[in-house]
């Protein structure tokens, strides 16, 4: 289903490129699969980070061409295409697996039905449809939100966006045990019916958490198009990357919120091909200490008491 959705997006970008006079272009996308909603419920969806550009192979280099921002009608067209392709796939799979529809439900099936019950009730009420927003569309429960855009220079905004796409399923600060033994979870924002929190039995909470575990041997972070592991021209993308940040970046560097403005382009013709970039050989790997400090705010290279840098006294290799 994810492949059908991303092919719909890639087909839309190629059509826009053909309108601008370019054919045979390459696309790229990064997809993060999430199985959870804001209420620790089962809500499988995908966060796709794709450049508003297509790429033309020019010898040993890639030349990007920026596409214009999508309109509301174009986003609705993409949502309709995703709906059609996924529904056709599901209908074909149901026809091939008729025996599965007749078997007795398993405990996992019952837990899935319990987790999907609140979402199903919201879909059946008239108050559920989300408010109309720019570059957003919904078709029979298939929603597409395409109103977040970043400029190429906004590296802090890109980091904020990727962290949002890879966020954990629940926040421990909103989880509280009541004197009665039940678990209360405060919602990030009120529901359409006015609910502000959930109260669950410990066993019901464990059932919800069990459903959020991804299936075995399946990646939740996937790369498509030019970013795919075996893409023929993937190595040529390195020349388009900006200079690598220093490994000693400040710990408390502010992370800006992702803006929702349309991409900004320079020059008289925003759709003109950029000149072939010159390759740059820069190291882009961070040390583990720097990664831990940046992600978890833990400085393993400093003393937890005096905060002075630790020094290597001896290296013992034998047990």
- Map out the domains of the chain as residue ranges: 2-247
- In DSSP terms, 45 is beta-bridged to 34
pLDDT at residue 268 tops 60: no
More confident residue, 284 or 110: 110
pLDDT category, 182, cuts 50, 70, 90?
A: very high
Q: What secondary structure letter does DSSP report for 191?
A: -
The tokens of 125 are what?
A: 């009420």
Q: How high is the mean pLDDT of the chain? A: 79
Strands (E), the chain: 28-36, 42-49, 53-58, 61-66, 136-139, 142-145, 175-177, 183-186, 197-200, 221-225
**pLDDT value of residue 177:** 92
pLDDT at 105: 72
Q: Compute the residue count for the chain.
A: 319
Residue 101 contacts by C-beta under 8 Å, 6 or more apart in sequence? 94
Q: How confident is the model at residue 31 (pLDDT cuts 50, 70, 90)?
A: very high
DSSP assignment letter at 166: T
H helices of 142-200, in order, are 155-165
What the block records as the tokens of 28 is 């790229």
115 and 205 Cβ atoms separated by less than 8 Å: no
* Separation CA 190–CA 47 (nearest Å): 22
- Pick the more confident residue, 284 or 91: 91
- Phi and psi at residue 28, in whole multiples of 5°? -150, 150
Question: Residue 296, CB half-sphere, CA atoms under 13 Å: how many?
Answer: 8
pLDDT classification of 29: cutoffs 50, 70, 90? very high
Confidence at residue 184, expressed as pLDDT on a 0 to 100 scale = 92
**Nearest CA among 218, 209, 210, 211 for reference residue 170:** 209
Residue 149 in this model has a pLDDT that exceeds 60: yes
pTM of the predicted model as reported, rounded to 2 decimal places: 0.70
What distance in Å separates the CA atoms of residue 251 and residue 235, rounded to the nearest whole number? 31
- More confident position, 243 or 64: 64
Q: Which residue has the higher pLDDT, 123 or 228?
A: 228
Query: Among candidates 311, 241, 312, 313, which has minimal Cα distance to 281?
Result: 241
Which H or E element spans position 97?
Answer: none
> What is the per-residue pLDDT for 98?
66
Angle between helices 202-211 and 107-124 (to 10 degrees): 90
């Amino acid at each position: 289903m994810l492949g059908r959705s991303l092919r719909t997006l890639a087909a839309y970008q190629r059509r826009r490129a053909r309108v601008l006079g370019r054919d045979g272009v390459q696309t790229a996308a990064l997809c993060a699969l999430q199985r959870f909603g804001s209420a620790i419920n089962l809500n499988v969806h995908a966060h796709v980070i794709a450049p508003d550009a297509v790429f033309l192979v020019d010898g040993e280099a890639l030349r990007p061409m920026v596409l214009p921002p999508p309109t509301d009608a174009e986003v609705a067209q993409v949502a309709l295409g995703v709906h059609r392709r996924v529904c056709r796939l599901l209908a074909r799979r149901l026809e091939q697996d008729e025996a599965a529809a007749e078997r007795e439900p398993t405990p996992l099936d019952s837990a899935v039905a319990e987790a999907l019950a609140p979402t199903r009730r919201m879909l059946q009420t008239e108050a559920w449809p989300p408010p109309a927003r720019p570059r957003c569309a919904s078709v029979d429960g298939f929603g597409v939100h395409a109103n977040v855009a970043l400029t190429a220079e906004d590296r802090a905004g890109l980091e904020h966006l990727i962290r949002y796409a890879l966020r954990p399923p629940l926040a421990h600060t909103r989880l509280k045990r009541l004197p009665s033994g039940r678990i209360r979870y405060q919602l990030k924002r009120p529901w359409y019916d006015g609910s502000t929190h959930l109260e669950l039995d410990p066993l019901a909470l464990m059932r919800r958490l069990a459903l959020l575990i991804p299936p075995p041997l399946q990646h939740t972070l996937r790369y498509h198009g030019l970013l795919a592991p075996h893409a023929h021209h993937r190595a040529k993308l390195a020349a388009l990357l900006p200079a690598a940040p220093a490994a000693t970046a400040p710990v408390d560097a502010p992370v800006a919120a992702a803006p929702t403005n349309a991409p900004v382009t320079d020059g008289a013709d925003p759709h003109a091909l950029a000149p072939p970039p010159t390759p740059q050989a820069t190291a882009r790997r961070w040390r583990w200490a720097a990664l831990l400090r940046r992600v978890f705010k833990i400085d393993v290279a400093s003393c937890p008491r005096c905060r002075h840098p630790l020094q290597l006294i001896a290296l013992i290799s034998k047990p």
